[in-house]
Amino acid sequence: MQKRKLGKSNLEVSVIGLGCMGMSFSYGPPKDKQEMTSLLRTAVERGITFFDTAEVYGPFLNEELVGDALAPFQGQVVIATKFGFDLSPNFDPRGMKGAPGLNSRPEHIKEAVECSLKRLQVETIDLLYQHRVDPNVPIEDVAGAVKDLIQQGKVKNFGLSEAGAKTIRRAHAVQPVTALQSEYSLWTRTPEKEVIPTLEELGIGFVPYSPLGKGFLTGKMNQNTTFDSSDFRSTLPRFTPEALKANQVLIELLGNIAERKKATPAQIALAWLLAQKPWIVPIPGTTKLNRLEENIGAAAVELTADDLRDIDSAASKIKVEGARYPERLERMTGL
Packing angle of the helix pair 305-315, 265-276 (nearest 10 deg): 110
d(CA 12, CA 35): 28
d(CA 92, CA 89): 8
- Identify whether 27 is a catalytic site residue: no
Could you say which of 27, 57, 184, 209 is catalytic? 57
Residue 20 near residue 52 (C-beta atoms within 8 A):
yes
Residue 225 near residue 195 (C-beta atoms within 8 A):
no
Query: What b/e readout covers 106-142, taking b as 16+ CB neighbours within 10 angstroms?
Result: eebbbebbeebbebbebebbbbbbbbbbbeebebeeb
DSSP reduced 3-state for 80: strand
Residue 43 near residue 49 (C-beta atoms within 8 A):
no
- Active-site positions? 57
